[in-house]
Amino acid sequence: MRTIWLMALKDLKIVRHDKVGLFFIIGFPVLMGVLFGAISNSFSSGGDDVHFEIAVVDADQSAISQRYVKALEDSGSIIVRPPTDPNAAIEAQREQAINDIRKGDLLAFVGLPEGFGETAGIMWMEGPAIELGVDPSRSAESGMLQGILMQAMGQLVGDRFADPDSMRPMIEQSRKDIQENNDMNPAARALLSGFMGTLDTFMGSLDELNSGLDDAGEKSDRPTMQLANIRAVDVTAPKQENDLTSRIHSAWDISFPSAILWGVLGCAATFAVTMVRERSQGTFYRLRVAPISRAQIVAGKGLACFIAVICVNLMMVALGYALGMRPNSFIFLALAIASLAFCVVGIMMLMSVIGRSEEAVSGASWGANVVMAMFGGGMIPLAFMPPFMKSISHFSPMSWGVLALEGAIWRGFSLTEMLFPCGILIAIGAAGIGAGVMVLNRATD
Amino acid sequence: MAEPTPRAPHIIRVHQLTKSFGSLTAVSDVTFDVQRGETFGLLGPNGAGKSTTISIIVGAMEGDGGQVEIDGRDIREGASVRRLIGIAPQSLALYDVLSAERNLVFFGSLYGLTGARLSERVDWALKFAQLEDRRRDLVKTFSGGMKRRLNMACALVHDPQIILLDEPTVGVDPQSRNHIFECIERLKDDGRTIIYTTHYMEEAQRLCNRIAIMDHGKLLALDTLDGLLAEFGGAAVVTAGLVKSPTDASILPAALDGLHLRFESKQPLEEVSRLATRGVAFATLNVAKPDLESVFLSLTGRSLRD
Ligand SMILES: Nc1ncnc2c1ncn2[C@@H]1O[C@H](COP(=O)(O)OP(=O)(O)O)[C@@H](O)[C@H]1O
Ligand SMILES: [Mg+2]
């Protein structure tokens, strides 16, 4: 093991001097991640070109629910289609919206449940879920839409707490409403009455709530700082409710998996080149006559690549986190990253035996990288891919990498769901290592 | 008295080694033994098969046929045999973007050196390579000669018993070359076994106890320098300018060309003094004793310097 470690350390030191490699491993993914994220951010917060037409079925009809609809419209990317018959029953409105979506008339509908206004924007209250039904053929937009729903909710939170003074008249009004309205749910009445008192302690408790953030993936009775509780509604089968709760917290959630891909592909190509360079500069000769086995040579190279991939991922996750990316599960993320790293080692091994010269390997590797990235979500996030590209993407190992990362970051995968892309990644890695080692073992010079 | 542990008299045995690349036979039925503590020369022109032979000996390449034994064991037996060997390959084998020191540390560690022993050996190797003041500089900034010296130092850093140097002086300036020779002589005095390949006969002549002459993959002759000269060197060539032609021209071993005399002899000095006592007066005198060049010429009909 010491030998393998020595070999890996040596390679990492060598790659540190490889300016071009470093750019692709570190600089490029950062650029891509931030760029994509920034584009998507502006996209979802005020881009003029994109408008999602949706229907809002407001079963709550409260001041807060109306504010929420206004916040959605204020996002700039959403047009709320007014109901054809405002006086129709809520259930009928919902039916109508789903029908419109199915006909392709409407992108989505957002259902604000009864009682929405009582808890929306109060973070320690887990209110009834917002329904979201999206045209399945336009699932690309679904992620963005969820982001906008979150943002609008965030605004509500801001409205409620950022500037309490300005909220006072509204709260006074609410108090009056409570007193005047005898039909009101007593629990809600108590809640709203206690609202002003709670305000003071809110800031203090915010920290504590924040610490619960990382466990957001787990189901717990403890309220989490999940901005909006969105429940996806399968519009193709309205009777069946899809329980999957999607949690895209920011545009960075979408841009970073793609960006990470570039980094790891950079690792594969860079370490593949160090492998041929080992031969072209003659050091492979020394390694072969040294008292170490071929397996150790290969393992050392693999370990170096593995470590580099892990480092790129950690760096990107840290950067993403700083920008606002909030992975659902860090444990799954670790699983995804480790599987991805193993896969990349396999790809690296294969690349390293593609050609005999540095130029050949470097050229072929980067060519393969561009193709893999293009169809794997490194250029266009998978979520925004046209369908034909998406079907090709299954052949790119990188799309499985993205799926695994996304599964951990925002798709809210269960362990079984995670194991699928991770298993494929590991299988690809193993195949690559096997093939690479076989070719390498035949090399005699 | 305790019996000394029996050790094979030959530390390296090469038996009927053969290696082809496609239709080209690079090494053909090569057999030789190297004795413990001996400096063994492999002399031959480029393409003779020296490097291929060396590569098979150290286990960097598989032969098509034949056996190699290192200290009584097969090189494929593993680490303990490999640890005995240090090789400076003919083509440089260094990490360009690492410093001289890092290269030495890395290769030293591969052979199991650690801690104080490692830094002691690295210091020794840096001194050997005359790179103490450039230890932290990247190899890519080095001159050809410096790289050559470091290439050798990397072979020696783990203090091996058996040292294989494949044309270590190619591209080295004369000053470094002398330094390298001195170092090799010191290693020799230290009892190391050395295999030295070269296409410079002067080097083989100066350093080697025994010399094998290779050409076209075949080992043509193997002996000490004197043995080779005696067997294949032929006669010495004497050329002289005489002050005047002797009265009795029959005492001369060859016909005069004007005042110039040229003849071959196995005992040139005896012949010259015999002529002198007979009253032949020499104006100029040149005795060309046979060397490895003449040995190679008589073995192959070609010059080594081609
Ligand atoms: N890897 C190889 N592939 C094909 N031919 C080779 C290879 N290595 C050496 N040769 C050929 O084998 C012959 C012997 O080469 P080599 O052992 O390097 O000779 P030397 O070291 O005496 O100059 C040469 O003709 C060379 O071209
Ligand atoms: Mg050679």
Nearest Cβ partner for B60 among A6, A289, A291: A289
Check whether residue B95 and residue B16 sit in a common domain: yes
Check whether residue B258 and residue B194 sit in a common domain: no
How far is residue B227 from each of residues A357, B222, B292, measured CA to CA in Å? 46, 9, 11
Secondary structure (3-state) at A252: helix
Question: Would you tell me how many other CB atoms lie within 10 Å of the CB of residue B17?
Answer: 24
What pTM was estimated for this model as a whole? 0.70
- Kindly report the CATH number assigned to the domain that includes residue B129: 3.40.50.300
Check whether residue B159 and residue B270 sit in a common domain: no
Q: How many domains does chain B have?
A: 2
Is A22 within 8 Å of chain B by CB? no
Secondary structure (3-state) at A327: coil
Check whether residue B199 and residue B242 sit in a common domain: no
Give how far the C-alpha of residue B242 lies from the chain's centroid of Cα atoms, to the nearest Å.
Answer: 40
Tell whether B304 is covered by a domain.
Answer: no
pLDDT in 10s for each residue of chain A, 445 residues: 888 988 898 888 888 887 777 777 777 777 767 766 666 555 444 334 456 788 888 888 888 788 888 888 877 777 888 877 777 888 888 888 887 877 667 888 888 888 777 766 554 455 567 888 887 666 667 777 777 777 777 666 666 554 444 445 544 555 555 556 555 455 444 444 444 333 333 333 333 333 333 333 333 333 333 445 666 665 543 322 333 334 455 667 777 887 888 888 888 988 998 888 988 899 999 999 999 988 899 899 999 999 999 999 998 888 888 877 778 889 999 999 999 999 999 999 988 888 878 888 888 888 887 778 777 766 665 556 666 777 777 778 888 888 898 888 877 788 888 999 999 999 999 999 999 888 877 765 4
Does the Cβ of B44 fall within 6 Å of ligand 1? yes
- Which residues in A lie closer than 8 A to residue B147 (C-beta atoms)? none
The architecture of the domain spanning A52-232 is 3-Layer(aba) Sandwich (3.40)
Nearest Cβ partner for A283 among B62, B78, B95: B95
Distance from residue A428's CA to the centre of ligand 2 (Å): 41
Check whether residue B202 and residue B280 sit in a common domain: no
Check whether residue B71 and residue B209 sit in a common domain: yes
Tell whether B66 is covered by a domain.
Answer: yes
- Which residues in B lie closer than 8 A to residue A444 (C-beta atoms)? 61-62
Domain boundaries along the sequence of chain A: 52-232, 250-444
Tokens of B245: 């032609």
Can you tell me the ipTM of this complex?
A: 0.86
Does the Cβ of B89 fall within 6 Å of ligand 1? no
Check whether residue B61 and residue B197 sit in a common domain: yes
Check whether residue B82 and residue B171 sit in a common domain: yes
Check whether residue B257 and residue B163 sit in a common domain: no
SS3 letters across chain B = CCCCCCCCCEEEEEEEEEEEECCEEEEEEEEEEEECCCEEEEECCCCCCHHHHHHHHHCCCCCCEEEEEECCEEHHHCHHHHCCEEEECCCCCCCCCCEHHHHHHHHHHHCCCCHHHHHHHHHHHHHHCCCHHHCCCEHHHCCHHHHHHHHHHHHHCCCCCEEEEECCCCCCCHHHHHHHHHHHHHHHHCCCEEEEEECCHHHHHHHCCEEEEEECCEEEEEEEHHHHHHHHCCCEEEEEEECCCCCCHHHCCCCCECCEEEEEECCHHHHHHHHHHCCCCEEEEEEECCCHHHHHHHHHCCCCCC
Ligand nearest to the CA of B62: 1
Secondary structure (3-state) at A114: coil
* Calpha distance A366→A356 (Å, rounded): 15
Does the Cβ of B55 fall within 6 Å of ligand 1? no
Distance from residue B12's CA to the centre of ligand 1 (Å): 22
Tell whether B295 is covered by a domain.
Answer: no
Range of the domain at B174: 10-230
Does the Cβ of B145 fall within 6 Å of ligand 1? no
- Chain A residues 292-321 within an 8 A CB cutoff of chain B: 292
Check whether residue B162 and residue B45 sit in a common domain: yes
Check whether residue B76 and residue B157 sit in a common domain: yes
